[in-house]
Amino acid sequence: MKVERFSYPIITPSAARGIFDAIYWEGIRDDNGIRPYFHWQVERIEILEMPRYIALRRNEVKDKVPSDRTIKAWMEGREQPVPLWADGGKDELGTDQKGRTQRQTMALKNVRYLMTARIISKPKFSASDQIAKFDSIFERRAKQGKCFQQPFFGCSEFPAFFEYVHASDLSSKQAIPFDQHIGWMLYDVFDLRRDVVRDDEPFITLFDATVKGGVLAVPPFESEKVRKPERGRS
C-alpha cells in the first residue's frame, strides 16, 4: 500500500503546544488580531506507551480553509461566500484543484505521554505575580478538565484527553525504555515570538530530535538548535 504520510514515533512539540493552548491561552483582542500574554514552551515529552502504528485512508478536501478575516467578511455580508467543494471532478468544477482526494496515512494509535511545559510571558506581562496568576489559572483549569476546545494530536480527527499530574505523583508515570534518533523533526509551524496573532504565514522550524530512555528533550524556541527560516528575526 502506498503511504503518503508517516507519523513520527512521538508527538511533535507543535502538537504538544496545541494541547496546552487548548487548556489555557489568552491575550488581548483588537482589530489587528490577538496580543497573547504568553506562549507555551514545551520542554520535555515522555513516552508512556510503546509507539504502535495504524494504517488509515482519509478523504480530504483540496481547498484551503478561508482565513478568519474572509469568514468574518462573509458573515457581515461584505463579500459573497465561496463554497468549499467536497466532491466533484474537473468536468463539474472546472479544475482538478478542488473537490476531494484520498490520502494514505500511517498514524500512531493508543498513545500516552507525560508532557512538561512552562509559560514564556511577553515583556508587558512578565511580572512575577502575573506569571504566578497564569500558572494558577492553568493548573485550576487542567485539574478540572476544562479546555477552550477539544485538544487533539496534530489533526482534529485524533482527539486528546488529559489529566494534570502533580510533581509529587510523577514517580507513578515512568517512561518506556525506547531510544531512537529521529533526525530533523517539526518543531512548530508558527513564530512563537510574535507579539500579535492573526492570519500569519507559516513559520516552519525544525530541530534534530533524539529520544533517549523514552524521553524527548525539547530545546527552547530561541535556541540555535532550532532551525528557523532565513526570513525570521534570528
pLDDT (tens digit per residue) in 60-96: 888 888 887 888 899 999 999 988 887 777 777 777 7
Provide the CA 78 distance to its chain's centre, in angstroms: 32
pLDDT in tens, 35-60: 999 999 999 999 999 999 999 988 88
Q: Are 51 and 127 in contact (CB under 8 A)?
A: no
At a CB cut-off of 8 Å and minimum separation 6, what does 224 contact?
none
Would you say residue 97 has pLDDT above 60? yes
pLDDT of residue 231: 58
Residue 234 has pLDDT above 80, yes or no: no
pLDDT band at 170 (very low <50, low <70, confident <90, very high): confident
* In contact, 211 and 9? CB cutoff 8 Å: yes
Average pLDDT of the residues of the chain: 90
- What is the per-residue pLDDT across 142-169, written as a single tens digit (0 to 9) for each? 999 999 999 999 888 899 999 999 888 8
Tell me what pLDDT residue 95 has.
77
**Cα diameter, the chain:** 63
How high is the pLDDT of residue 41? Answer: 98
Q: What is the pLDDT of residue 96?
A: 74
